[in-house]
Structure formats: C-alpha cells, structure tokens
Amino acid sequence: MRKDYKLEKRKYVIGGFIVLIVLIYIVRLFNLQVMDSRYKEFADSNAFMRKTLYPSRGMIRDRNDQLVVYNQPAYDVMLIPRNVVEFDTADFCRTLEITREQFDKRMRDMKDKRLNPGYSAYTPQKFITQISAQDYGRLAEKLYRFPGFFIQQRILRQYTRPVAANVLGNIREVSQKEIDKDEYYNRGDYCGDLGVEKSYENYLRGVKGVEILMRDAYGRIQGKYENGAFDQAPVSGLDLKLSLDIDLQEYGEKLMANKIGAIVAIEPSTGEILAMVSSPTYDPRLLVGRDRGKNYAELKNDFYNRLFDRALMGAYPPGSTFKPSQGLILRQEDIITLNTAFPCYHGFISGGLRVGCHGHASPITLKPALQTSCNAFFCWGLKAMLDGKRAKYGSVADAFETWKLHLVSLGYGYKLGVDLPTEGRGFIPNAKFYNKIYGENHWSANTIISIAIGQGEILATPLQIANLCATIANRGWFITPHVVKEIQDTVMPAALLEKRYPTIDRQHFEDVAEGMRMAVTGGTCRLAALKDIEVCGKTGTAQNPHGKDHSAFIGFAPYNDPKIAICVYVENAGFGATYGVPIGSLMMEKYLTGQISPERQYLEDRMLNSNTIISSGVKKH
C-alpha cells in the first residue's frame, strides 16, 4: 500500500475549503436573518393583505341639532386584473344590468393609461363605482363565479335638504397630489372638497381600520391572520355642529332665488355665521354618486359659476355700506367731532369734481349723514383727513396709510380667517398703489374721492362687510367669523374664540350704531323697521361696470343686544332699499321671531317672486 503523505495534506485544503464556505454562509445568514430587518417587512407586505376598513365619516348638524349631512353606504365593484380568470361575461353583465358594450368599454378605459394612470394588473382597480343596493345583493350572491372581482364598501354623503352647498362642500376621490402630501390617503380614497368637508377633513374622516388577511403568491385570500388578533377597527369621524341655522339658510336661499349675490348673517357675540348664502347656488346632492363627475363638470362650466362662493370670494364695491367705517375713522382720527357739519348741495363739489347726492338738509353732521347716506359728508371728511392735516400726517400718502391701517384692523383688505377653504381678501389700496398710478405726490383726496363712499378701487367680500356690521353691533370688537360651532369631543381652535379689537375706540362705534339706528327709524332703511325690535341698518347702492347698480344692505338687531348682524348684496338690483333692505330685514325677522309678521308678508312675497338676474350684467338668458 502506497501512501503519499505530501498528497494527504491536501485533505486540509479540501476540508478548509468547505469550512470556509460554511462560515461564509453562516455570516450571510446572520446578516439576512439577524442584522437586516428589511426582510421581515418585505415578508409582511408579501403575505399579508391589509384590507382597509373605511370609517364612517362624521355627520354634520346645524346649530339647533338638525341633521344636515349623513352617510349612506355604496358599493364599488373592484377587480385585480391579474387574478381574473375566464368567466361568464354575459352572466356578469346581466347581474349588473349593463350591456356587453358597456362592459368592454369599461375594461378598455380601465386599462387605458391616459384615463387611468394608476393602472396595474396587480392592484385593485375600479370596475364600476357606487352600484345600487339591489345590484350589490345580486352580485354578492354570484361573486364566487367571478374570481378576481370583489366589492368594496364605500360611504356616500347624503343631505337632508338641498341647501348650503357652498358651506358644506362635498367629497370626491383624492388626487395624486393629495396622496403624495398626506400618507393617510391611498388611491381611491375619498376626501372633502370645498366647504367644511374640506376644511374639517381631518376631523370628519376618522381613522381607517385594517383587517389583516393572508394572501398566497397568486393573490388568493387564505383567511384572517391569527383570527383577526391584529386587526384594527376603524374609528368613526367626528361629528360637526355647524353654527348655521339651517332653516335661516334655507330661507335666505329662497329669498335669493333668481338673484345673483350673497347673504352673510353673523351672531355678533360669537362670530358664528348663522347663514351664508351664495346665489345662484346648487343642490349638494348633484355632487354625490356616479354622476358626480358629469355634474361637477357642468357646474364648473356653469354660466353663473354656481361653484363660486360669492359670500366668501365675491369682491364687490361696498358702496354706502362703507360709510360707517368712514365715520369711525374720521372720529378716531379727530377729523370731525359729532358736531362737525359739511355742506351738501346735492352732492360733493370740489375742484371741478362732483359726487352726486340726494335731497336732505344741509349742512349735515355724522349721524344724520349716516341716516340719509349723504355722499358729500364722507367725501368732505376724507378730503379733510388727506388734504387738510398735513401737520398731523406729513403727507397725503402718510394720511392715506393711516386710513388704510384702520380699515385693515376692521377686517378689510385681508382674509378674515374663516374656517372654510376658500376666502377672498377683497381689496383696500395702499399709498404705493396710488403712487404707481398717479406718481408720487401727484394725487390727493380729490383724485381718489370715490373711495370715501365705498366705490373706486375699494372691494370687499360680503363676509367682510357682514363682519364690519357685527363689529359695530358689538361696539368695537369681533370674533373671526366661522361656520362650525362644535367639533365632537374636541376643543375649538382658539383662533375662532378670541376677540379681535380694531384700532377704534368703543365710543365711536356707539355713535355710528346710533346713526344706523336713525337710518331705520327715519332714513334710507325704513323698510327694515320691525315691530318691537330695534333694528339698525345702512343701505348701499354700488355703481359697477356690469350694469345696474348693486343693491346692498348691512344691519343688526336688536340695537342694544344684537343677536344678528347681516350683510345682503344683490348684484345689479338697483337701490339698496329695493332689495338689500327687504331681504336683510326679512332674514333678521325670521331669525329673531321665527316668522314673518302678516303686515310684512307682502315684502316676503315680493322678494320670493322677484327676478333680478334679468337686469344683471349677465345679459344672456
């Protein structure tokens, strides 16, 4: 027997080789199994199908606990294309009551990357959305015959009355941008669009639950994981209590029928919006269900732009409703005293300029000027402030800036911060603005005199005008107007509870309020007078480039303990006294007494039946 000891040593090479390999593999296993936690996550996403359980969305009630928005279940037919095997198409179509052509078209559209950019054969795709309960029942019975298809329960919004669409908003499928921004959302989820549905989305939507199902490599469900021990039940969204009085809102929408414009009613002591009408409006039910897309497109292209919330977004010249603010500023700046009288010879005449006015006694002081809505008084006032106080302000521009800052403190020129997603800011020019137009030091009071009476460049939203009225009603403070009174189990944001004080002393508000009271007792707003209730008001008639004057009104009542402050703005309806005053006073009467007194019934009938759209700037009908 020959033994080669040199060669025998080679057993160490071979043995060492396999020892080395096994060591490397053990290190690799250690890395995979102990060090790297990613694989556990991969495994979970592999084997577990996390089925989302949708929470019920919070319900919405009005300030008197009347139900306004609630939920209704709906069913989407979904499919995972990869898991669909051959099935009886005819039977499927019969069950869902669709034609073969519709079926084919739906399949084509689903796979069309342009129409459905999120298409993937591996993920759930919508086949038909929101089928009826009957269709659901029939399909659910036969579903086992159509592998790959499943039914996803959805929640649809329902509305008890076809009102307040602009405040309530609606819900729609989330966009890709929203999915990217907020990890709560997945493709196909719903979220609020417009109104409180959008601004209170985070409260209303609740918390999604999850059901963990085990899924094999072919996507087939193999049952619940650990019998549902790790499932999470969804948490319902929080209910909202609106500050709106839905009856008042409905009444306001009726009064505004066939008119273009807005009504904003605020409870002065709380800043709670009692009614916010934008007209013409639409039935919120149009944006629910399968026809949402079609209806939305129609509303979007609507001739009257119904989706546009005029109460929040409309930028209108406030006209004479602006005069109370002028009175406040002139008094605060000591430009006038209560006894200062300015002449009015049927208007303001200065340096070849003439702003017309109507017949009343002359000269006139602040309160009667408010009572009779004298243009000349406020023009003279502004002129006195801008041109006559060089010593105090230095220049016209500096005086103007002071004027502007007072207005800003009264809530003009900037967003008030209402709890709704879309708010306009109106427009209050500053000195720079006029410097740009006329050149520095090349403008004076006469150049811009129309702003004294709420014309010219001045623009405000009906909400801002109503807020000014509420500030006067409160004699010097306001709370940021808001439409939600309570969120279930949640403290309201502090910003909606704090008083905000303009830069004007309380006493001056008292004077202006008195002037507004006089306007009702013996001035431009006599139509607004109510039995047993001391109403204050101010009309507005705003010239505009679109046709007939806009008819506006602000008012509050009762005089000494205001419960409601209101702004009515009707486009192209003529004098403030013709539409603004009646509508505003009817709203106040309805809210304060719950009914319209018989002697004012004629006024209600006239408002309900009148049509001012025909005289609006929108000429086509």
Partner 1 sequence: MESRNTNSSVFRNLDWFTVVVYVLLVLAGAVSIYAASYDFDNASILSFDEFSGKQLRWIGLSFVAGFVIMLIDFRVYEAYAYPIYIVLILLLIVTIFVAPDIKGSRSWLVMGPMSLQPAEFAKFATALALAKLFSSYNFVLNSKASNYAKALLIIFLPVVLILAQKETGSALAYMALFFVLYREGMSGLVLTAALCMVVFFVTTVKYTETMVFGIPSGELAVFFMIEALTVALIWIYCKLPSVAQILLLWFLGTGVLAWVLGLFGIEVPGLIYFLSAIGIGLVYCLINCMRHPARPILLTVAAAVFAVGFLFSVNKVFNDVLQPHQQMRIKVSLGIEDDLRGAGYNVNQSKIAIGSGGVTGKGFLNGTQTKLKYVPEQHTDFIFCTIGEEEGFLGSTAVLLLFLILILRVLSIAERQPTTFGRVYAYCVASYFIFHLAINIGMVIGLCPVIGIPLPFFSYGGSSLWGFTFLLFIMLRIDASRREHLSY
Pick out residues in 189-248 that bind partner 1 (CB under 8 A). 214-218, 222-223
Output the smallest distance, CB 78 to partner 1, in A: 21
Q: Can you read off the two tokens belonging to residue 173?
A: 């499928």
Residue the block writes with tokens 């049509």:
611
CA distance 69 to 419: 18
Backbone phi, psi, residue 318, to 5°: -70, -15
The interface region with partner 1, picked from 43-51, 401-409, 484-492, 600-608 by CB under 8 A, is 43-51
Output the smallest distance, CB 141 to partner 1, in A: 24
Ranges of beta strands (E only) in 411-535 are: 478-479, 484-487, 499-500
The interface region with partner 1, picked from 41-49, 246-254, 524-532, 583-591 by CB under 8 A, is 41-49
Select 46 or 611, whichever has its Cβ closest to partner 1.
Answer: 46
**Residue 590 half-sphere exposure toward CB, CA atoms < 13 A:** 23
Choosing from 1, 229, 391, 494, the residue that interacts with partner 1 (CB under 8 A) is 1
Q: Contact at 8 Å (CB) between 513 and 475?
A: yes
Select 34 or 494, whichever has its Cβ closest to partner 1.
Answer: 34
Residue 246, CA distances (Å) to 20, 160, 168, 445, 518 in order: 81, 10, 11, 45, 31
Three-class SS state of 505: coil
Residue the block writes with tokens 């801002």:
464
DSSP, res 2: -
Select 7 or 491, whichever has its Cβ closest to partner 1.
Answer: 7
Output the smallest distance, CB 214 to partner 1, in A: 6
Find the helix packing angle between 462-473 and 506-522, rounded to 10°. 100
Select 30 or 438, whichever has its Cβ closest to partner 1.
Answer: 30
**Residue 584 half-sphere exposure toward CB, CA atoms < 13 A:** 41
Q: Does 85 bind partner 1 (CB under 8 A)?
A: no
Select 119 or 184, whichever has its Cβ closest to partner 1.
Answer: 119
Output the smallest distance, CB 82 to partner 1, in A: 12
**Number of residues lying near partner 1 (CB under 8 A):** 41
CA distance 328 to 350: 23
Output the smallest distance, CB 65 to partner 1, in A: 50
Select 47 or 80, whichever has its Cβ closest to partner 1.
Answer: 47
Q: Does 65 bind partner 1 (CB under 8 A)?
A: no
Select 18 or 494, whichever has its Cβ closest to partner 1.
Answer: 18
CA distance 548 to 267: 31
Output the smallest distance, CB 222 to partner 1, in A: 6
H helices, E strands: number in the chain: 23, 20
Q: Does 46 bind partner 1 (CB under 8 A)?
A: yes
Q: Does 47 bind partner 1 (CB under 8 A)?
A: yes
Choosing from 4, 65, 86, 532, the residue that interacts with partner 1 (CB under 8 A) is 4
Output the smallest distance, CB 233 to partner 1, in A: 23
Output the smallest distance, CB 85 to partner 1, in A: 17
Q: Contact at 8 Å (CB) between 436 and 429?
A: no
Select 9 or 531, whichever has its Cβ closest to partner 1.
Answer: 9
Backbone phi, psi, residue 417, to 5°: 95, 30
Output the smallest distance, CB 122 to partner 1, in A: 10
8-37 footprint of partner 1 as x/- string (CB under 8 A): x-xx-xxx-xxx-xx-xxx-xxx-xxx-x-
Q: Does 7 bind partner 1 (CB under 8 A)?
A: yes
Q: What is 198-241 written as a DSSP string?
A: HHTHHHHS-B-EEEEEEE-TT--EEEEGGGGTT-B--BPPPPEE
The footprint of partner 1 (CB under 8 A) covers 1-2, 4, 7-8, 10-11, 13-15, 17-19, 21-22, 24-26, 28-30, 32-34, 36, 38-40, 42-44, 46-48, 214-218, 222-223
